Amino acid sequence: MSRVTRRLFWLIPLVLVPVPLLLNPYQQYVVNTALLYVPVGIGFNLVVGNLGLLAFSNVAYFGLGAYTSGVLMAHLGLPWWLTVIPAGMVGGVAGSIASIPALRGVRLFYLAIMTLAFGELMRWTYIRWEVLTGGSMGMAVPTASLFGWSLDTDRRRFYAFLAIVVLIVATTDRLLRSRFGRAFLAIKDNEIAAAAMGIPTDRYIVLAFAWGGAVVGLGGAMFAISVGHLSPISFDLTELIRQFAIIMVGGLGSLTGGIIGAVIITAAPQVFTSFPGFDELVFGLLIVLVILFLPRGLASLLARAHPAFVDRYYRD
């Protein structure tokens, strides 16, 4: 029964199709931002939540994906849709590189600091590699197009984003429900025992980092055309905290959690935009409340509400 209910989730994108008709351009921009943060949350959650490794290099994949897309468009004149796959690939490669300390046995705070440094190194690269990135002044991202169709409005971008996000959610869901998802949880629980059961733990760690990096890179490609201007300041520590808040509020180790977190963290501050400074207060309060009352995030609340919301290998 719960499996049937779960299939109904695939109707959600269909329900979203007419939504742009109800929104003004600004609201549409906010919805797009929420959408593009879905893969950012999912990729981050895969490594931190499912695999249980404290890797803080998520913003690096995000920025690299964004700059890959932006640079290929601005300098080579490629249409946006041709830059999406390269952005994902660059994110995936960056993820594999960021997994190296973890493969050498670096864990916990040490891993957190090393991966954090990786992210900062990337930010430094955007600043220094002025020829490509425009340095700290940033660069303009040309108008995107999809198969010759101009993605010049937020409404048009919405449909492109929705398609990409659905694809990412569907494939990651499959991955996490399979023996791979089970192996990730086994590694998180007891790495030595997982290896003793024949699981090549190193290979799986690289896989999780690479898959996570790739989907976050795709989020970056969407970010590039959504904001239309890239500058290093978009990829600083504040951005990392925001992305971390997505998975904390949404629920560590839950695919649904990554999605909900992206929506909540993007939408919540919008409610209070008329009171300057209030959005940060809401943001902070939200995190404190969730950690106090729902340590496993909003996903745990949903899981209690209905079994259909429980990811196969999500444990609260």
Which parts of this chain interact with another protein (CB under 8 A)? 171, 174-175, 178-180, 182-183, 185-186, 188-190, 192-201, 207, 315
Smallest distance, another protein to C-beta of residue 179, A: 5
Smaller CB separation from another protein, 104 or 179: 179
Closer by beta carbon to another protein, 192 or else 292: 192
Closer to another protein at the Cβ: 235 or 313? 313
Residues 144-151: contacts with CB under 8 Å, at least 24 apart: 144/73, 144/79, 144/80, 144/81, 144/225, 145/79, 145/80, 145/81, 146/79, 146/80, 146/81, 147/79, 147/81, 148/79, 151/80, 151/225
Q: How far is the CB of 52 from another protein (least distance, A)?
A: 10
Residue 229 or 304 having the CB closest to another protein: 304
Comparison of 178 and 273: residue with beta carbon closer to another protein: 178
For another protein, the closer CB: 189 or 280: 189
**Shortest Å, Cβ 274 to another protein:** 44
The smaller minimum CB distance to another protein, of residues 6 and 315, is found at 315
Q: Closest separation between CB of residue 129 and another protein, Å? A: 33
As measured in angstroms, the least distance from the Cβ of 248 to another protein is: 19
**Could you tell me the smallest distance in angstroms from the CB atom of residue 283 to another protein?**
30
Q: How near is the Cβ of 182 to another protein at its closest, in Å?
A: 6
